[in-house]
Amino acid sequence: MTQTDIALLLAHAADEAEIGIAPVQAVVRGGRRRRARRWAVGAATTLVLAGSTGVTLAFAGLPGEHGDRVAPMAPGPASAEERHVYDPQQTELARGTEHGKEWEVRVQVWGAPRGAREADRQFDAMRRMGLGPAVDKAADLVGKTSFFSVRSYGDDHPVVVMFDTTKRIDRLSGTDLQAAAVNLEEADAKGPFRLVVGHVAKTAREVTCRWKDGRSTVAVPEGPAPAAHHGSSLIRPVAGYPGGNWFVCVAPEGTALKEAEVTK
């Protein structure tokens, strides 16, 4: 069979193929809304590829400039592992040494389960790590993101400072600040509450923690140098957390938190 014969057969096949029209107008209308535009473009691309797959694969076998083309594959839905449903994203906020023991503060963000099975596995994974989400039962985790800020000190049992389970993480703005204070060392309901952990808007450039003895500590955004990532009073972004940045302040020994606020 000659190339002329092949070309005639392919042309005949192309005439019989019903590719359909991509919803271009829907894409243009959706362009005013960022989320709608993304989905509309994705849908249009899928429709075109689905309708033209047979013809595209036929041409891929011909010699010439189109011979090495491969039809792109539409991406499938993200797996539970890719969404961090069973293994959270973790970000270190601060670390240091106190009385010969190392301490550390981390934030964990758990992706939202998409069904009862994923929720059950996530609930069990949290329990194995000593975490209790803000829900009554595993099924209540479906469609919700969970986050925990956790303080560890030496070999002691880690302490959860702030946590929540929600369908939508609110974005902080301006001078908004949400924070909590706990002991830096052994847990004690009477204090002193020297370790302050909280989150602020992504635009915040400075958080001032004022202590009861009149002194204060200023937390600023982390710097680009490696050494700047190991301070104990910094503002940092947290992987998987869209609501804002997080910060840590540590009071000197002998005093405790009086107040904290965004000062820049």
Question: Residue 69 domain-assigned?
Answer: no
Q: What is the pLDDT of residues 61-117, one digit of tens each?
A: 333 444 455 555 555 578 888 888 888 999 999 888 888 888 899 999 999 999 999
**One-letter amino acid of 205:** R
74 occurs within a structural domain: no
Say yes or no: 100 and 220 in one domain: yes
Q: Are residues 52 and 106 in the same domain?
A: no
Whether 184 and 120 map to the same domain: the answer is: yes
In a domain, residue 80? The reply is no
- pLDDT at residue 158, rounded to an integer: 86
DSSP annotation of 175 reads T
102 and 43 within one domain: no
pLDDT at 122: 92
Q: Can you read off the two tokens belonging to residue 32?
A: 């005013």
Q: Which parts of 116-233 are beta strand (E)?
A: 145-153, 159-166, 177-182, 195-200, 207-211, 216-221
Query: Tokens 């009385």 correspond to what residue?
Result: 99
Q: Are residues 181 and 226 in the same domain?
A: yes
Output the pLDDT for position 143.
94
- SS3 label, residue 55: helix
Q: Are residues 143 and 256 both part of a single domain? A: yes
Q: Which residue bears the tokens 């958080």? A: 207
Q: Do the beta carbons of residue 205 and residue 220 sit within 8 Å?
A: yes
Are 214 and 102 found together in one domain?
Answer: yes
Domain boundaries, position 33 = 3-60
DSSP string covering 24-38, please? HHHHHHHTTSHHHHH
Q: How many CA atoms lie within 13 A of 254 on its CB side?
A: 3
Q: Is 47 exposed, middle or buried (0-12, 13-18, 19+ CB in 10 A)?
A: middle
Sorted by sequence, the CB contacts under 8 Å of residue 155 that are 6+ apart come out as none
Question: What is the structure's pLDDT at 114?
Answer: 93
Same domain, 55 and 93: no
Q: Which residues, at least 6 apart from 208, have a Cβ–Cβ distance to it below 8 Å?
A: 216, 217, 218, 219, 260, 261, 263
Is 126 inside a domain boundary?
Answer: yes
Contacts of 40 (CB under 8 A, 6+ apart): 23, 26, 27, 29, 30, 31
Domain total for the chain? 2
Query: Which residue positions in the chain have pLDDT lower than 50?
Result: 10, 14-67, 225-229
Residues 134 and 199 in one domain: yes
Pairing between β-strand 101-110 and β-strand 89-98 as defined by DSSP bridges = antiparallel
Read off the pLDDT of residues 22-38 as tens digits, 9 standing for 90 and up. 333 233 332 222 222 22
